[in-house]
Structure 1
Amino acid sequence: MGYGGIVNKQQAELLNGIALAYVGDAIFEVFVRDYLLEKGLTKPAFLQKNATKFVSAKAQAKIIRAMEEVDFLTEYELTYFKRGRNAHSKTTAKNTDVVTYRISTGFEAVVGILHLTQENERLKEFWNFCVETIEKDTA
């Protein structure tokens, strides 16, 4: 991981979808916060409103649909997307339907596996795709 390495690649690949999504959610949140601050947004209300464009289950499902349209995800990434999407979570969707919530969990699992396996270049490509997709819709 670069931080003393909690898990190696083999251990990361054995994690369940919920654990991968747990990590992926945190990593994606940091990307979004960094991005918004870089754009000059500093007021809490604006930060929260703009962050939701990225971190909501609906937004993440929209990104996945856009990725599917252009075959963006590799077979490896699709494996972990499906692992996250199909995982049985004890938490429930707050502001969306179960299907969208599960797709979002799959999205976060992809971020998690890319982070834990230190696929930093691919994670950057993934993030850039997310930004392009969201910004295109809000322009």
Structure 2
Amino acid sequence: MENHFHPQMTLDQIRTISAIGLAHIGDGVFELLVRTHLCKQGKATGKGLHRATIKLVCAEAQSAHAKKILPLLTDEELAVYKRGRNAQVHSVPSHASRADYAAATALESLFGWLYLQGHQERVNTLFDAIMSPVETEEV
């Protein structure tokens, strides 16, 4: 049986995935990490939990998160980040600036790329750096 939580892909297979594809995967990875983080805190349920999640995963927040971890990235990670940032996105949600949306796409691409490579420890390190100073409000 295939382990869908730990996909087995070669570097060549991962390289063939577009930046938008990596962002698509990374969006899910990042949101799952945020949801888990919030549930572990035990501070929110139902509607409040959803609002707290949205507050942390919106493009503006992800752009701020990206700025925090940029100094921590390796050269290879930075190249993946830039590839995501420069992806040709055809529509930007009205609530986000183009710059914030590009940075959010870059962050998601990076998390997708790390996840597909099985670099869980690195994902955890970067997510900890993002979340450590963040005080999630009581909801």
The answer to whether the superposition gives a TM-score over 0.5 is yes
Q: In 1, Cα distance between the equivalents of 2:62 and 2:99?
A: 12
Aligned position for 2:108 = 108
Greater percentage in helix = 1
Report the alpha carbon displacement of residue 8 of structure 1 after superposing the two structures with TM.
Answer: 2.3
> Unaligned regions of 5+ residues in structure 1, if any?
none
Q: Runs of 4+ in structure 1 displaced over 4 angstroms?
A: none
> Normalising by structure 2, what TM-score?
0.86
Report the alpha carbon displacement of residue 15 of structure 1 after superposing the two structures with TM.
Answer: 1.6
Check the 8 A contact 2:7/2:118 in 1, yes or no. Answer: no
Could you tell me which amino acid in structure 2 is paired with residue 11 of structure 1? Q
Report the alpha carbon displacement of residue 91 of structure 1 after superposing the two structures with TM.
Answer: 3.4
**Matched-pair identity in %:** 27
Aligned position for 2:123 = 123
In the alignment, structure 1 residue 41 sits paired with structure 2 residue 43: yes
In the alignment, structure 1 residue 74 sits paired with structure 2 residue 74: yes
Measured on the aligned residues, the alpha-carbon RMSD in Å equals: 2.2
Check the 8 A contact 1:66/1:133 in 2, yes or no. Answer: no
Aligned position for 1:62 = 64
Check the 8 A contact 2:26/2:110 in 1, yes or no. Answer: yes
Number of equivalenced pairs: 136
Could you tell me which amino acid in structure 2 is paired with residue 49 of structure 1? R
Secondary structure of residue in 1 paired with 2:72 = coil
Deviations along 1:39-91, whole A, 9 cap, x unmatched? Answer: 113422211221123201111111111223xx111111111111111111233
